[in-house]
Amino acid sequence: MQAIQYGVNMMSTITCDDRKFVKYISETEIDAAIEKVAAAVNAEYKNDIPTLLFVLNGSVIFGADLMKRLDIQCKMSCVRVSSYVGTQSTEVVRNVVGLSGDLEGQRVLVIEDIIDTGNTYAYINQILKEAKVKDVKIATLTYKPDSYRHSLPIDFVGLEIPDKFILGRGMDYNGLGRNLRDIYQVVDE
């Protein structure tokens, strides 16, 4: 497996594993989007203590950045599901690590790095309904409205993007690239 090759002069194109990616969204733009989401979350939960449910692994970086900007009290929990192989969604969501702890009667804010088809969110939403939570909302760093196939509302969106595969700021390609500060878009070959 080939590692990410970083340019000496912060080139705008990188290679990750076997694919090329071009810089698409800067760290500054991402941080501004997270500030926007944090302000909306602070307003929504100003009189409540929500549980932030991180969808592992991708949401860890966005979730940590978001939590640092929250002025409210909150709890944190994690769930791990999987639906991607390479750059394609398999359309099948697998529960890898389920809910930990009792969430009955709590307000839950699902934290995602990306919403594309919405299959993962629909799956998690159903699990949370079965757990008898008070309500469910979602905050996502990136959202692909052209790919979304469900009627569930997407409550807090950092950045709307086209239906292209992206990498960085928590999002990976074959397990690589999550640590990139900027977001990169795959180069069509």
Dihedral angle at the C-alpha atoms of 124, 130, 136, 139, nearest 10 degrees?
A: -10
List Cβ neighbours of 67 (8 Å cut-off, separation of 6 or more): 52, 74, 76
Q: How far apart are CA 44 and CA 38, in angstroms?
A: 10
Q: How far apart are CA 43 and CA 50, in angstroms?
A: 12
Dihedral angle at the C-alpha atoms of 79, 85, 87, 88, nearest 10 degrees?
A: -90
CA distance readout (Å), 64 to 11, 52, 135 = 27, 11, 22
Catalytic, 135? Answer no
Catalytic residue among 65, 116, 172, 182: 116
Q: Which residues are catalytic?
A: 116
